[in-house]
């Protein structure tokens, strides 16, 4: 059986740190509230020299180096992002050019915080069926550009960053992407949205009266959805594969809120040492969150060849999904 196997992983975050203490000076919030309700201590935000594309390119270069793969070998670049530099061209095409990946197709996947999950799920069948041999999947977002830094209910949550993996087709292996589950519920679109700047409300027509030009999130609704969605996606993918939660070696969930992660881990009855958490350092980096976590887990020696890894994400759309991977 041919599988899509991860050969290298890397990540990139901006240098600029935005701590809870910094935010205390900007809005009516405090370190204790933020840590208690979200687990976040600091996040990274883009400076003038960073962009969605630049973070994606650096993460990709690190993943390619880790995999010992040249840019020319890559046949498909998939970028999970909702914050590309432009509505078009796509972030993936800009990345393709920067990398010199002259043999690659390129497309973006708009699945917000589940962007990496959806991107891996999109490209894995191309590798499994022999259409391509090598793919680069990147998850990246720079939500700091859409956040209202006078709105305490959202500005404490988000940060910027990118993560990338190199996937290769491998025959006769039990490693790689085992199975995926992708789900959506557009009736919840109103709960996390960026209304301004798309074709419904193009910037050249000016901001319609009463419209929010920033990211909007109904925190409590999204929290309820997230807690259910994480468990739902994990249980479905386990059921499809005949594996059990007790088989999982490392759980790498979307890093939005420590309480959401803990509640999913509890539902799956996972011990603390099987759960990867770095939300304290980066906040919610949306599409970047899961591949950044994979990259750090790998660097910390928490991912060994053959480990069963559950990745799961949820976000604006609403969308959610999980990839079960043998490392």
Residues that bind ligand UT7 (CB under 6 A): 29, 33-34, 37-38, 113, 152-153, 156, 192, 219-220, 222-223, 226, 256-257, 260, 284, 315
Closest CB to ligand UT7 among residues 164, 312: 312
Closest CB to ligand UT7 among residues 156, 294: 156
Burial of 215 (C-beta count, 10 Å sphere; 0-12/13-18/19+): buried
CB of 82 to ligand UT7, least distance (A): 11
CB of 191 to ligand UT7, least distance (A): 9
Which residue is catalytic, options 191, 254, 257, 323? 254
Closest CB to ligand UT7 among residues 6, 229: 229
CB of 210 to ligand UT7, least distance (A): 21
Closest CB to ligand UT7 among residues 31, 170: 31
Which residue is catalytic, options 20, 257, 281, 284? 284
Which residue is catalytic, options 113, 155, 281, 323? 113
Q: Annotated catalytic, 284?
A: yes
Closest CB to ligand UT7 among residues 6, 222: 222
Q: Are 268 and 248 in contact (CB under 8 A)?
A: yes
Token pair of 289, please? 């969150």
Token pair of 118, please? 């959806």
Q: Report the alpha-carbon angle 123-128-133, nearest 5.
A: 75
Question: d(Cα 298, Cα 57) in Å, to the nearest integer?
Answer: 19
Pairing relation of β-strands 76-80 and 105-109? parallel
CB of 141 to ligand UT7, least distance (A): 10
Burial code (b: 16+ CB inside 10 Å, e: under 16) for 157-171 equals: bbbbbbbbbbbbbbe
The torsion angles phi and psi of 274, rounded to 5 degrees, stand at -100, 5
Q: Which residue is nearest to ligand UT7 (CB)?
A: 219
3-class secondary structure, 163: strand
CB of 22 to ligand UT7, least distance (A): 13
CB of 29 to ligand UT7, least distance (A): 3
CB of 163 to ligand UT7, least distance (A): 15
Q: Annotated catalytic, 46?
A: no
Closest CB to ligand UT7 among residues 81, 134: 81
Question: d(Cα 16, Cα 43) in Å, to the nearest integer?
Answer: 9
Closest CB to ligand UT7 among residues 136, 252: 252
Q: Are 193 and 316 in contact (CB under 8 A)?
A: yes
Report long-range pairs for 183-190 (Cβ below 8 Å, ≥24 apart): 183/229, 183/232, 183/233, 183/236, 183/319, 183/320, 183/321, 184/317, 184/318, 184/319, 184/320, 185/317, 185/318, 185/319, 186/317, 186/318, 188/221, 188/225, 188/317, 188/318, 189/316, 189/317, 189/318, 190/218
Question: d(Cα 234, Cα 321) in Å, to the nearest integer?
Answer: 8
Q: Which positions are catalytic? A: 113, 254, 284
């Amino acid at each position: 059986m041919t599988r899509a196997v991860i050969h290298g992983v890397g990540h990139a975050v901006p240098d600029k740190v935005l701590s809870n203490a910094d935010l205390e000076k900007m809005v009516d919030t405090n370190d204790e509230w933020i840590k208690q309700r979200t687990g976040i201590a600091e996040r990274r935000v883009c400076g003038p020299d960073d962009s969605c594309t630049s973070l994606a390119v650096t993460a990709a270069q690190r993943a390619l180096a880790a995999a010992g793969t040249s840019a020319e070998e890559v046949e498909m670049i998939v970028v999970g992002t909702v914050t590309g530099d432009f509505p078009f061209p796509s972030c993936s095409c800009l990345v393709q050019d920067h990398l010199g990946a002259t043999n690659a197709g390129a497309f973006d996947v708009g699945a917000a915080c589940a962007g990496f999950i959806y991107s891996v799920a999109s490209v894995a069948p191309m590798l499994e069926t022999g259409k391509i041999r090598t793919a680069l999947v990147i998850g990246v977002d720079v939500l700091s550009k859409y956040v209202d830094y006078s709105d305490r209910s959202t500005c404490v949550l988000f940060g910027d960053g990118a993560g990338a993996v190199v996937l290769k087709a491998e025959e006769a292996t039990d490693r790689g992407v085992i199975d995926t589950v992708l789900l959506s519920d557009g009736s919840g679109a109103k709960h996390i949205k960026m209304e301004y700047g798309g074709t419904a409300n193009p910037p050249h027509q000016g901001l319609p009266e009463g419209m929010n030009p920033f990211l909007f999130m109904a925190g409590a609704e999204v929290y309820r959805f997230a807690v259910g969605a994480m468990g739902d996606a994990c249980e479905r993918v386990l059921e499809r594969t005949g594996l059990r939660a007790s088989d999982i070696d490392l759980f790498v969930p979307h890093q939005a809120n420590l309480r959401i992660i803990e509640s999913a881990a509890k539902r799956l009855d996972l011990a603390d040492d099987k759960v990867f958490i770095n939300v304290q350092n980066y906040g919610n980096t949306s599409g970047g969150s899961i591949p950044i976590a994979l990259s750090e887990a790998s660097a910390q020696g928490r991912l060994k060849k053959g480990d069963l890894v559950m990745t799961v994400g949820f976000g604006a759309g609403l969308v959610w999904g999980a990839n079960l991977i043998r490392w």
